[in-house]
Amino acid sequence: MASMTVPALHPQPGQLTAVVVGGIDTHRDLHMVAVVDGDGMVLGTESFSTTRAGYRALLRWMRSFGDLRRVGIEGTGSYGAGVTRHLADADVEVLEVDRPDRTDRRRRGKSDTFDAICAAQAALAGRRTSIPKSRDGRVESLRVLKLTRATAIRARTKALQLLRHHIVSAPEELRDQVRNLTRMQLIRTCATWRPDTVGFRDPVVATRISLKSLARRILELNDEIADLDALIEPLVCELAPQLLAACCIGVETAGQLLVTFGDNPARIRSEPAFAMLCGVAPLPASSGMTQRHRLNRGGDRQANRALHMIAISRLRVDERTKIYAAKKTAEGHSKLEIIRCLKRLLAREVYYLLHPDATAQQAARSQTSQLAGSSITSQPAGAQVRSTSGGSQQ
């Protein structure tokens, strides 16, 4: 998630209505809502249904307490997706709130009311909050299609494993017919069988029926995956052609990185924040005289996997990556450490490819620093000293 700094809420001079902040603990059928004032005092709690009428009543109820500035919501990507869209359409600032602090939960206990109050207080203080994905553009369409494709691939893998298992344990007269076939030959042969279902009590007939069912399921899943690929590829090409032009970044990895960014990439404010989101930023783990970093096991693991695949591919085909790996190996780094370094560098490259504004700002800063450095070096040494001493005297 992209962290952000939230300004404090105080009534402006001449402002008649009080400033209030809301918090929502989301569930499938009912959302628990709490409202606090600018000092964090609870003004009210109420539950609302997860329907459009419930969302309208929820917004009216929160605005009845004063000027609603922002709302903290738990689970904006799951049960809170609907209310997040409704509040965003009503021009209400929405923040995603992480789960409550465990120490506070052990002290106060667990209830939906407490969770809603904690969400409101976190949104008020800007603590444990982030900007949620907008989920209103082509990246959301890509996410839904990719998720469906992933489930289809997992179902096909399970069906293939079960097909092989049935053949291993099948009766000999049936196993001899298919044991020397390739995978596609096996699938097509089993799919064309017409076993007599009347004799399903016989193990041979029952195995034939099962193999035919699994083979047809695999073929249908192959067609489903191909249809989804035909939709996903043009979407990725439209959204990030510059990403596909980079070395060893294909449709699958580029699509996952786009989904991690979301439809509102401005929510990720810096390149280190993106590295932390992908779980490739090393975490300090120093103590005393020992200075070291440890592996980051958090973040979006699918984005981490995409960066890992790109790094492995570049180690095989990209000459610059090979030179970098050889240099790190000579310095005494292990292969796993080199891959971690590559993933961190890849996160930086991907961020600037998907964030052209940040690229322009970085170029402007580097040009400014170069001009400043050239102006300093062009002065005589005595002038630099006089300028420095004069600045200190002022």
Burial label for 172, CB within 10 Å (0-12, 13-18, 19+), is: exposed
pLDDT of res. 53: 96
The answer to whether residue 387 scores a pLDDT higher than 50 is no
Lowest model confidence (mean pLDDT) among 56-60, 232-236, 285-289 = 285-289
Q: What is the mean pLDDT of residues 72-81?
A: 92
**The pLDDT value given to residue 376:** 38
Q: What is the mean pLDDT of residues 49-66?
A: 95
So what's the pLDDT on residue 238? Answer: 95
For residues 312 and 315, give the distance between their C-alpha atoms in angstroms, rounded to a whole number. Answer: 5
Please list the residues that pair with 67 across neighbouring strands. Answer: 19
Structure tokens at 220: 């249908």
**Residue-wise pLDDT tens digits, 345-354:** 999 999 999 9
pLDDT at 366: 55
User: What is the value of pTM for the model shown?
Assistant: 0.80
**Phi, then psi, of 97 in degrees rounded to 5:** -110, 130
> Which among 167-171, 274-278, 354-358 has the top mean pLDDT?
274-278
Query: Are the CB atoms for 133 and 77 separated by under 8 Å?
Result: yes
Read off the pLDDT band of 374 (50, 70, 90).
very low
Q: Higher-confidence residue: 357 or 209?
A: 209
Q: What's the chain's length in residues?
A: 394
Contacts of 197 (CB under 8 A, 6+ apart): 205, 209
175-184, 287-296, 305-314: least confident range: 287-296
Segment 133-146 mean pLDDT:
93
Rounded mean pLDDT of 156-180? 91
Contacts (Cβ under 8 Å, ≥6 apart) of 78: 26
